[in-house]
Amino acid sequence: MQVFQTVAELQRHLLNISQLGKKIAGFIPTMGALHEGHLSLIRTSKVKSDITVCSIFVNPTQFNDKKDFEKYPIQIDKDLEMLLEAHCDVVFVPTVEEIYPKGTLERTTVELGFIGKTLDGEHRPGHFEGVLQVVKRLLDIVQPDLLFLGQKDYQQCMVLSKLVEHYQLPVKVEICDTLREKDGLAMSSRNARLNPEERAVSAKLSQALFYIRDHIKEQPVPELIEQQLKLLSAEELIQVEYLTIVNGKTLEPVDLYQENTSLTALIAAKVGQVRLIDNVIIH
């Protein structure tokens, strides 16, 4: 496994590899604090690509909350060990200056429309603009054939698919299933910040989503949401930002169950001070 900190070194290495013959490059962008979910993306990339590149960069421009950025877990040595064990080929660990040599203000021209305004777009103003900015830069640097993303960040997957479409980038977006802990909690770097009490109640988020998925045909949608919100609000440590069922392709809210529409249930909630998101595709 080779680790690079500069764009020039990374690109020289990738160029050397591609000169040896056409290789499929798979890319997994991360903010570090890696867990099994990230490793499963690495493993999928290892199966589908010749070269697997992973980046670790805590992107300051996608945090609308300064405290959230400051508290983002960092464990670079452990991350590198995990990547080595997962047989990742190349790791890119750039500095902020390396990613944003002209400063952090330049944004992409992608017009997200409704999918950028709703849910996390509404609750984390500027977040997706920052995600678009950093992933565009990373894709320009790495120029992968395949981009591996986790379904846990459902809206982010839609936003980044739009980025690829907007710039007609020659990269295929591969969305991989969410990995879960035994009690159903979606794996996330942020879980490391939960104290034992918070960790114990955090599984209630996915339980609400699974309940909704399993009972959506039996109860009117607003009633089902209301019932689950009530259960969650009974937990002192949980503060729900949104719990909703949307059209899985447009993110428009859905109030009436329709068998032939793609439907996804999504949640965002603070457990203590830690903001968690999760989703379940209903069909």
Q: Which is nearer to ligand PAF, 189 or 228 (CB)?
A: 189
d(CA 47, CA 146): 12
Distance CA 184, CA 176 (A): 17
CB atoms within 10 A of CB 165: 11
- The secondary structure element, H or E, covering residue 81 is helix 76-85
What are the backbone dihedrals phi and psi of residue 29, each rounded to the nearest 5 degrees, phi first?
Answer: -80, 135
Q: Which stretch binds ligand PAF (CB under 6 A): 25-33, 76-84, 103-111, 168-176?
A: 25-33
Active site residue 127: no
Residue 138 vs 245, nearer CB to ligand PAF? 138
Q: Where do the DSSP E strands lie in 88-178?
A: 90-92, 146-150, 172-176
Shorter beta-carbon distance to ligand PAF: residue 133 or 228 = 133
Residues between 49 and 88 that touch ligand PAF (CB under 6 A)? 59, 62
Is 279 a binder of ligand PAF (CB under 6 A)?
A: no
188 Ramachandran zone, left/alpha/beta (phi>0; psi -120 to 50): beta
Q: Mask 127-156, x = binds ligand PAF (CB under 6 A)?
A: ----x--xx-----------------x--x
> Is 30 among the residues that bind ligand PAF (CB under 6 A)?
yes
Residue 260: how many other CB atoms lie within 10 Å: 6
145, 170 Cβ separation under 8 angstroms: yes
Task: Give the binding range for ligand PAF (CB under 6 A) out of 26-34, 92-100, 167-175, 216-224.
Answer: 26-34
Interface residue with ligand PAF among 7, 14, 25, 31 (CB under 6 A) is: 31
Question: Which residues have a catalytic role annotated?
Answer: 38
**Under the rule (CB under 6 A), what is the footprint of ligand PAF?**
29-31, 59, 62, 131, 134-135, 153, 156
